[in-house]
């Protein structure tokens, strides 16, 4: 079941719509989209439904912090500091200011970097000579049974 819920900023300047999606075992992710109510413009829209977030409204107008985590590795979170008036964001406390248009890409890169590298698949082991002999014997037995079955069906045997 997918659902949405909304929340307005304390100064009623912004509205956050959370797209709710069930992740597993009744646990939900709330993916936020922030809209400026006066202009109707979307300030920040995240499309990855694995993202779960909460907006913490700041004391200064036009600024808020978006706390994010991504399923299934939800243990490590990210604070995204947004200045809607300047059209910028910072990832974490010491991050550089970047344009809001880059939000989705920056957030995805951040969480992708946290994932452990994929281990390469193990090379296929060569079958032992004994294994190959048993495989060959099995195929010979199978072929003999098929030939015998056909011969019996034709009345030769």
Residue 121 has pLDDT above 60, yes or no: yes
| Shared domain check, 135 and 84 | no
| Shared domain check, 99 and 42 | yes
SS3 assignment, position 37: coil
Would you say residue 119 lies in a domain? no
- For residues 33 and 109, give the distance between their C-alpha atoms in angstroms, rounded to a whole number: 19
| Shared domain check, 156 and 82 | no
Would you say residue 20 lies in a domain? yes
| Shared domain check, 151 and 105 | no
- The terminus-to-terminus CA distance of the chain in angstroms comes to 65
- For residues 113 and 145, give the distance between their C-alpha atoms in angstroms, rounded to a whole number: 57
pLDDT, tens only, 32-84:
999 999 999 999 989 888 899 999 998 888 899 999 998 877 678 899 999 99
| Shared domain check, 40 and 15 | yes
Would you say residue 98 lies in a domain? yes
pLDDT on residue 1: 47
- For residues 125 and 146, give the distance between their C-alpha atoms in angstroms, rounded to a whole number: 31
| Shared domain check, 97 and 146 | no
For the chain, how many structural domains are there in total? 2
- For residues 92 and 82, give the distance between their C-alpha atoms in angstroms, rounded to a whole number: 11
| Shared domain check, 130 and 94 | no
Domain span at residue 144? 125-157
């Amino acid at each position: 079941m997918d659902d949405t819920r909304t929340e307005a900023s304390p100064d009623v300047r912004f509205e956050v719509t959370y797209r709710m999606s069930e992740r597993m075992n009744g646990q939900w992710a709330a993916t936020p989209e922030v809209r400026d109510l006066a202009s109707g413009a979307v300030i920040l829209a995240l499309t990855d439904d694995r993202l779960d977030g909460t907006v913490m409204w700041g004391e200064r107008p036009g600024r808020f912090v978006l706390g994010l985590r991504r399923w299934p590795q939800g243990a490590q979170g990210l604070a995204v500091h947004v200045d809607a008036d300047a059209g910028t964001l910072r990832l974490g406390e010491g991050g550089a200011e970047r344009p809001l248009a880059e939000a989705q890409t920056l957030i995805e890169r951040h969480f992708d970097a946290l994932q452990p590298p994929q281990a390469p698949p193990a090379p296929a082991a060569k079958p032992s000579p004994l294994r190959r002999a048993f495989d060959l014997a099995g195929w010979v037995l199978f072929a003999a049974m098929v030939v015998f079955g056909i011969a019996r069906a034709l009345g030769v045997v």
